[in-house]
Structure 1
Amino acid sequence: MQYLIGIDLGTSSIKAILMDVEGDVIAQAQESYLIQVPTIGYAEQSPNVWWNAAVNVLRTLLEEENVDPSLIGGIGLSGQMHGLVMVDYKGEVIRPAIIWSDQRSKSQIEKINQLIYEENAIDKMLNSVSTGFAISSLLWIKENEPESYEKTNKILLPKDYIRYRLTGELATEATDASSTLAFDVAERKWATFLIKKLGIKEELFPPCYEPCEIAGEITTCAAKETGLKKGTPVVFGGGDQFMQAVGNGIIFPGIVSSNIGTGGQIAVMVDKPAYDSQLRTNTFCHIKPNTWNIQGSSLNSGLSLNWLKSNILRENDFRALTKMAEKIAPGSEGLIFLPYLTGERTPHLDPNAKGIFFGLTLKHRDDHFVRAVIEGVTYSLRDSLDLIEGLGIQTNRVIASGGGGKSKLWLQIQADIFNKPVYTSKTGEEACVGAAIIAGVGVGVYHSIDEACRKLISYNEMVIEPLQDNVKMYSHYYELFKELYKRNKDLFVF
């Protein structure tokens, strides 16, 4: 054995890396796809599109490096969380997957959250339910598409569908299962009491395992499609937030993950099942037993910048936007952006929330808009950081990843708005690397996740320190940012 493969099924693309057992990435491949919006507020993707993209990136890895598939010791997966994939008794997809940013289940989440309170189940669930979570989407299907519900044999999370196509096994694991909100997060098992109370069939939920367990082997059919060797072990892996944490070496309490992708998350690993009493954060099972991940989630992080790039400025390149923002002084001369283009989770749990540009004057131009969007997204992440610290959870340093970890400007803005030093790992494609590491642990290349991360993960020498003049100014604008939601939330429903 010489190689491991990590696959990350994202919202806008699927990526895969070929990594040797010393942690060096030998090859990587990526293929993009779109979110389908059949109705305003809906967000869907075809699992078959995901699978075709997975086949393409796997073939690219093998063919471009002329790799002997027999040298691949294991494959691990990472993926976008919360989404609902429904398959029938033949394993065929019944309808497009409802993904995490979908907003259709507003009435269903009210019913589910009320039930959690009535059953005094907060200490088990550790979360409230949001639109786009699998349990609320499934209840919407039951109430609005009964024919699809009746055809369903099993529900899966997005990355679990890719693993099913690789192995033929229908199953999930604890990190992603906990993000369905049909899960007893404190006990790491399906929340059968909630499932029964909602009148949902228990048998729809697949067996649940741990991230480092072997899920199955590459089937004859999958081998023909992908070029992989039949019998290659496939390890469960986990949700992208957790695989990204492994890829950054965030496997101990006290380290903050600031991940800015299509959505954004501020997350910290904890060794007790902590949660916000108002359930504005999410607490999910982490990669090891008796560990949890408490996080705040923004729906509109990179999504906001992409919206500005594509819909407003008609630019083709994110780098061009960064150059525009660099021309503008911190604070965007008073222009503040509220990045709630598809509603918001933390801290508002408000699917009706809308975006706002506030403070416009005649002096503002395109460059200001770009910087204001970057700053507004970072303010929204600070909301999550403040909530987590308010629970008494220690946050010693920030490790930035995703698009926000690749831009020097955005790194400095994070340091200044969070008022903390920001580090970056030398790892590229952190979620893919995390999935490959988990695969290595699962097949015995590494004795433990801790050992693997100590061996493979290192950090760049450059640490982005907060600039105190900027910290003071951003603190002022952050207070205005928070007031914008408070003073406008009643208008968002119209």
Structure 2
Amino acid sequence: MSEQGGGPLVLTFDLGTQSARAMLVDPAGNILYKAQRRYETPYVSPQPDWAEQDPDFYWRELCAASRELKEKAGPDWARAIAVTLTCIRDTCVCVDIDGKPLRPAILWLDKREAHGLPRIPAAGKAAFAAIGMYESVKLQRRMSACNWIKVNQPEIWKKTHKFLMLSAYLNYRLTGHYVDSCANLIGHIPFDSKERRWMRMSDLRRCIFEVEPEKLYSVVEPGERIGFVHRWAGEQTGIPEGMELIATGSDKGCETLGLSCTGPDKAALSFGTTATVQVTTQSYMEPLPFIPAYPAVLKGAYNPEVQIYRGYWLVSWFKREFAAKEMAEARQKGVSAEQLLNRRLAEVPPGCEGLLFQPYFTPGIAMPTARGSIVGFSDRHTRIHLYRAIIEGVNYALLDGLRTLEKRGGFAVRELYAAGGGAQSDEICQITANMFGLPVHRIQTHEASGLGSSMVAFAAKGVYPDMQAAAQAMVRVKDRFEPEAAQHRLYEALYAQVFQKVFPRLLPLYKKEQAVEEQFAAPAAEQPQPAPVP
């Protein structure tokens, strides 16, 4: 470790769905010290499909991680020149006039829907219908937490002084100011991603998210100051009072910067609970009609993204339902069940001998009637075939997303950079390279989000002239996986001739199935519903 009096460090917090991490990062991209707090209970579900957590749970975990890091760092703690924070997206907090939470935070995983909403204004309905997005808009309105709270907990909404993203709430706890980065404002909120500001009241899209202007808060660009750590927060965290908190962005956005994907020639693949493919562009480009490109952490740029909502969650699903043997063996050997399963991927040939998996388990804005499917079972298939089919299926969906981004943006991606739990597997990285026909890189650390967040502060404090220079200096490729030409040709044929045709063929059946479910569910819906849990 460096001695006291060495170069500057950035103190970075990364608050994820499963754990909180605190890191001290140096200008060379080394994480000198790290403290991680794994959540015993990541969220609670008072009712099916709900995902909630006490907002102060995240603050307590941040404080504990910070104090643990301070103890580990010893005298090097004093070398920190700024603080940054990155965290999960689309997680909202209602606070009262005193800044105290009024109800549990609603996480991005939450799937509750609001009913009994006001009608969409006629002008908006016509505009949405004209571009074929009316059904998606209705779904988005139902899935917006702000609308659910207004309908089901009007007394909470009336007391709500500010409707915050989790990042904004943690910024408030650190500095006492309701301020957030535009690169954090990703979720079911009235934010204009193209203009990087809150939507105007005249915006037709404003009817989707029923949040009054006075409940919103100040927005700054990445690299600008959120505020200074106040005395009370310093006492809780051990951070020196008055240290500057620099605005960065969401965990996915910081991850893309942390992987050095600062232009459209590189794509960031995130193999996490939600799997994503994301690029960085200088001009605004919607990945799909009416789906915004998010403000990038790279100032003035955008991150068009395609996400597979239940991406590597499917691995957890497979472990729970089919991998009891590997889970027991993993406990005995002190390794992860994923490691044992990934070693067995080589037992199954590319294409899984005709087994094809579509990972669209959860409806979304672009696919409001989506379902997952497994096509092509035969008596030769085993559960390991199914495991490899899941990995291939997620990759096919990401490849489909990347091709959409390239077509809409008129660019060609030349390299892939992978992060997230799945990217730690050599086998999965090689399969990915073979399927995409592009080299896949892993960088020197798994903490790409924290690394990207720290880059912003080093640029803001003048250690580097800009974020691109910081990324160039702080990222090192650790592993490179080259595509195997023969396997890529096979995957390309399967993608074009099979995968792309499955969903359109099944979609009419999905719609009929939904109609039948709604028809027979209608009498039950008329029964009294349980009162919402405050």
- TM-score normalised over the length of structure 1: 0.89
Verify the 8 A CA contact 2:343 2:427 in the aligned structure 1. Answer: no
- SS of 1:354's partner is coil
Equivalent residue, structure 1, for 2:503:
485
Find 1:147's aligned residue among 133, 139, 155: 155
The match for 1:292 is 302
1:359 corresponds in structure 2 to: 376
The partner residue of 2:424 within 402, 406, 417 is: 406
* Cα shift at 1:399: 1.4
For the 8 Å contact 2:183–2:294, the answer to whether it is kept is yes
Aligned counterparts of 2:120 and 2:423: Cα–Cα separation in 1: 36
Tell me, what secondary structure is at the counterpart of 1:65?
helix
- Helix, strand or coil: the match of 2:247? strand
Find the counterpart in structure 2 of residue 163 from structure 1.
171
C-alpha displacement at 1:443, in angstroms? 3.1
Shift of 1:432: 0.6
CA-to-aligned-CA distance 1:151-178 (integer Å, 9 cap, x gap): 2111222222222222222121111225
Q: Does 2:182 align with 1:174? A: yes
Distance in structure 2 (CA, Å) of the matches to 1:273 and 1:319: 40
**Distance change >3 Å, CA 45–CA 432, structure 1 → 2:** same
Between 1:17-26 and 1:374-383, the stretch displaced more is: 17-26
Partner residue of 2:110? 102
Distance, in Å, in 2 between the alignment partners of 1:113 and 1:325 is 52
**1:285: Cα distance to partner?**
1.2
- CA–CA distance in structure 1, aligned partners of residues 229 and 313 of structure 2: 34
TM-score using structure 2 length: 0.83
Give the partner amino acid of 2:220: Y
- Residue 51 of structure 1 aligns with an amino acid whose one-letter code is W
The 1:122/1:269 distance shift into structure 2, 3 A limit, reads farther
Matched with 1:235 is 246
Q: Identify if the C-alpha distance between structure 1 residues 467 and 68 changes in structure 2 by more than 3 Å, giving closer, same or farther.
A: closer
Residue 29 of structure 2 corresponds to 23
Contact 1:74 1:233 in 2 (8 A): yes
> 1:278: how far off?
3.1
Q: Whole-Å Cα distance in 1 between the matches of residues 305 and 418 of structure 2?
A: 14
| Partner residue, 2:65 | 57
* CA distance 1:277–1:26, shift in 2 (3 Å): closer
Measured after TM superposition, the shift of residue 106 of structure 1 is 6.8
- Partner of residue 83 from structure 1, selected from 88, 91, 97: 91
Q: What does 1:303-382 align with in structure 2 at a 5 Å threshold?
A: 303-314=313-324, 315=327, 317=336, 318-344=338-364, 348-350=366-368, 352-382=369-399
Q: Which amino acid aligns with 1:357?
A: I
What is the CA–CA distance in structure 2 between the aligned matches of 1:101 and 1:153, rounded to whole Å?
Answer: 24
Contact 2:179–2:219 (Cα < 8 Å) also in 1? yes
Letter of the 2:174 partner, please give it: L
- Matched AA of 1:362: D
Q: Which residue of 1 aligns with 2:465?
A: 447
Separation (CA, whole Å) in 2 of partners of 1:433 and 1:132: 32
Indicate yes or no: 2:229 matched with 1:218.
Answer: yes
In 2: Cα distance, 1:383 partner to 1:114 partner: 35
Superposed CA deviations along residues 218-256 of structure 1, whole A, max 9, x for unmatched, are 222222222222222111210112111121111223211
Q: CA deviation at 1:304?
A: 0.9
Give the direction of change, closer, same or farther, for the CA distance of 1:26–1:428 in structure 2 (3 Å limit).
same
Structure of higher RCO (CA pairs closer than 8 Å, 6+ residues apart):
1
* 1:259 is the counterpart of 2:277: no
1:226 to 1:378, Cα distance in 2 relative to 1, 3 A: same
- Once superposed, what is the RMSD of the aligned Cα atoms? 3.0
CA contact (8 A) 2:81 2:243 kept: yes
Cα drift, residue 47 of structure 1: 1.7
Radius of gyration: which is bigger?
Answer: 2
Partner of 1:191: 199
Residue deviations 1:290-326 (CA, integer Å, cap 9, x gap): 3211111111112111121234323262212212323
Give the Cα–Cα distance (whole angstroms) in 1 for the partners of residues 494 and 114 of structure 2: 31
Deviations 1:438-458 (A, max 9, x none): 122233333311221122112
Contact 2:114/2:148 (<8 A) preserved:
no
**Residues 200 and 226 (structure 1), Cα distance of their counterparts in 2 relative to 1, 3 Å cut:** closer
- In the alignment, is residue 463 of structure 1 matched against residue 491 of structure 2? no
The answer to whether the 8 Å contact 2:225/2:245 transfers is yes
Work out whether residues 82 and 134 of structure 1, in 8 Å CA contact, stay in contact via their aligned partners in 2: no
Which piece of structure 1 moves more, 190-199 or 16-25?
A: 190-199
CA contact (8 A) 1:174 1:210 kept: yes
How many residues are treated as equivalent by the alignment?
486
Cα 1:148–1:39 change in 2 (3 A) is: same
Contact kept in structure 2, 1:309 and 1:321, CA below 8 Å = no
Bigger Cα displacement from structure 2, 38-47 vs 9-18? 38-47
Name which of structure 1's ranges 190-199 and 69-78 shifts more when overlaid on structure 2. Answer: 190-199
Preserved CA contact (<8 Å) 2:12 2:22: yes
CA 1:113–1:214: 2 relative to 1, 3 Å:
farther
Corresponding residue for residue 438 of structure 1? 456
For residues 152 and 67 of structure 1, do their structure 2 counterparts lie closer, same or farther at Cα, with a shift above 3 Å needed?
farther
**CA offsets 1:239-281 (integer angstroms, 9 cap, x no match):** 11211112111122321111111101111111211124633x5
2:273–2:309 CA contact under 8 A, matched in 1:
yes
SS at match of 1:398: strand
Equivalent position of 2:82 in the other structure: 74
Q: SS of 2:171's equivalent? A: helix
Say whether 1:390 aligns with 2:390.
no
Distance (whole Å) between structure 2 residues aligned to residue 134 and residue 262 of structure 1: 23
Distance 1:118 1:210 in 2: 34
Cα deviation for residue 357 of structure 1 reads 2.8
Q: Is the 8 A contact 1:271 1:292 kept in 2?
A: yes
The secondary structure found in structure 2 opposite 1:424 is strand
- Structure 1 stretch displaced more, 189-198 or 254-263: 189-198
- How far does residue 192 in structure 1 lie from its aligned partner after superposition? 2.3
Unaligned runs of at least 5 residues, structure 1: none
In structure 1, what is the equivalent of residue 53 of structure 2? Answer: 45
1:3 and 2:9 are equivalent in the alignment: yes
Instruction: Give a deviation string over 1:363-390, Cα, whole Å, max 9, x none.
Output: 2223222211111111121121121122
Aligned to 1:422: 440
